[in-house]
Structure 1
Amino acid sequence: MVAHTPPVALTIAGSDSGGGAGIQADLRTFSFHRVHGTSALTCVTAQNTQGVTRVDALEPAAVVAQIEAVVNDIGIQSLKTGMLLNQPIIEAVADALTQVANTRCVIDPVMVSRTGAQLIDDGAIETLRQRLIPLATVLTPNRYEAEILSGQSIHTLDDMETAAQAIHGLGAQAVVVKGGGFEGPLRGIDLWYDGTNVTKLVTTCVETNDTHGTGCTLSAAIAANLALGQSPLDATRRAKDYVTHALHHSLRIGQGQGPVGHFYPILE
């Protein structure tokens, strides 16, 4: 028997009963990268490819207890946050993360869906802005989240850059404004800004309706690559490549929007 000590990543997010996003997507993404995945659930959703029918939040103390259980025994090299759902949970997670020294944090500010629907209330958004974003090694807002955080509309690549610079001013070390929600030539183009460098991240644009979980998957893949020792920009490039391959092998399951193929090598 050969014992292994792999890198460890933690996801702090909600459960997706349909398996396409949230904790389930994050853990599959960690496994693909040969990173041991640990988790802290923030909420349990009843959802499938057609939508969400129920959401039950955990108590903030229960979320913190999960984080502490993992950190105090196993230890982590990186973490990501996803759906935190409400203001008390965001505050509790921010408090807990200030106690996790030298850990690279990927913050996916899940506030608005890629179709523009607001997912958390204004108080929770403000707490996320003030308490969580300054802890981010990499922040991954979609177009609509970037508009809220920057206070400006985004229609062009220049708009993406200006928004990324404004959001960087909130304290994140690096910002990736995601372009998956655009139509036309900007679709799928992400923009990186770290206070010095502006980098356009481009891969093949995949034509598929089965895109559920792409945001969760990208942030989890960045966290996995950070745990493996990649620089934040390289981790983000590799993560985008992974998501593109997973989109090429998206899953036609259910009657609605299917998920990406996290385990695409064995699908072939």
Structure 2
Amino acid sequence: MKKTLTLAGSDSSGGAGIQADLKTFQEHNVYGMTALTSIVTMVPETWTHQVTAIDVNLVENQLDTILSLGIDAMKTGMLGSVDIIELGAHKIKKNNLTNVVVDPVMVCKGDDEILQPENTVALREHLLPVATITTPNLFEAGQLAQTGPITNLEQMKEAAKIILDLGVKNVVIKGGSALNHDKAVDLFYDGHEFLVLEKEKLETNNNHGAGCTFAAAITANLAQGKPIKEAVIHAKDFVYAAIQAGFKLNQFVGSVNHGAWNQVK
């Protein structure tokens, strides 16, 4: 059985973070392992996010446990600090890890302030150069490419070129329903060609965990030996089904349904 690692935060509400990753790995029949970087909790009355970091030495102990077993692919999510970003990059290089998916999480869904600006610098300098693919949304792509807000497909293409020049081998920018376009659009770029992935827009707010699920699906597909472009195309279909079958958790948030793809295919 193929083995996968997620180096990410824990979402206590279960929709995103390592919880989303493990559910997605299970749906793809790969064995998921977790190295926690932080624990995210919410204030029940307001759903304000509270992020508690895990000590970097404990993160390293988790990684050493997992890497001693061997992995076929890995992803990163919320990393929490420059030290953890540098640690992740070090472990990837030291262990000659391939199939590395970097989801450059910068904010919690529902918040609009970047968690730690210094982490973006560390992602650019340390983690992207050792990654197989990175999966930023429009906000994250603008931060990584240092272009400012991205509102159309041409700006996505320019940002993808800049991000690729940071050393990552492939980029997929998630435009989704936020892009100024009549379809939900994601853009894949491998340095040679652009691939525009389009779906009908879904009028729903039940999309908590969509980004984590998308990156985890790519990771699982890479672990199983699929080519990068095929892995991305499948992940788009997988997360689209998950959003389509999403459901309301409370008055503040609705989650994607991680099992939807296998229920309907």
Residue in structure 1 matched with residue 159 of structure 2 by the alignment? 163
Q: Choose from 168, 174, 178 the match for 2:174.
A: 178
Q: Choose from 84, 90, 98 the match for 1:95.
A: 90
Task: State how far apart, in whole Å, the 2-side matches of 1:128 and 1:108 are.
Answer: 10
Secondary structure, aligned partner of 1:185: coil
Deviations 1:104-145 (A, max 9, x none): 100001124566723332222111110001111110111011
One-letter identity of the residue aligned with 2:115: I
CA contact (8 A) 2:210 2:256 kept: yes
One-letter identity of the residue aligned with 1:134: P
Question: Structure 1 residue 117 and structure 2 residue 112: aligned?
Answer: yes
CA contact (8 A) 1:81 1:107 kept: yes
Task: State how far apart, in whole Å, the 1-side matches of 2:124 and 2:83 are.
Answer: 14
Secondary structure, aligned partner of 1:199: strand
Unaligned runs of 5+ in 1: 1-5
Task: State how far apart, in whole Å, the 2-side matches of 1:112 and 1:53 are.
Answer: 10
What is the identity percentage for the equivalent residue pairs of Structure 1 and Structure 2?
39
More displaced stretch, 250-259 vs 21-30:
250-259
For residues 132-171 of structure 1, the aligned pairs below 5 Å read 132-152=127-147, 153-171=149-167
Residue in structure 2 matched with residue 8 of structure 1 by the alignment? 3
Deviations 1:215-265 (A, max 9, x none): 101000000110111111110100010000111110222222211000126
Q: Choose from 254, 261, 267 the match for 2:257.
A: 261
CA contact (8 A) 2:109 2:208 kept: no
CA RMSD of aligned residues (A): 2.0
> Aligned-pair distance for 1:93?
1.6
Q: How many residues align?
A: 262
Task: State how far apart, in whole Å, the 1-side matches of 2:136 and 2:63 are.
Answer: 23
Task: State how far apart, in whole Å, the 1-side matches of 2:211 and 2:103 are.
Answer: 8
Task: State how far apart, in whole Å, the 1-side matches of 2:190 and 2:39 are.
Answer: 34
One-letter identity of the residue aligned with 1:122: P
**Cα distance change of structure 1 residues 266 and 124 upon mapping to structure 2, 3 Å threshold:** closer
TM-score for both structures, normalised by structure 1:
0.91
Residue in structure 2 matched with residue 65 of structure 1 by the alignment? 61
Residue in structure 1 matched with residue 38 of structure 2 by the alignment? 43
CA contact (8 A) 2:75 2:100 kept: yes
One-letter identity of the residue aligned with 1:242: F
TM-score for both structures, normalised by structure 2:
0.92
Task: State how far apart, in whole Å, the 2-side matches of 1:210 and 1:91 are.
Answer: 34
Secondary structure, aligned partner of 2:35: strand
Task: State how far apart, in whole Å, the 2-side matches of 1:97 and 1:158 are.
Answer: 33
Residue in structure 1 matched with residue 23 of structure 2 by the alignment? 28
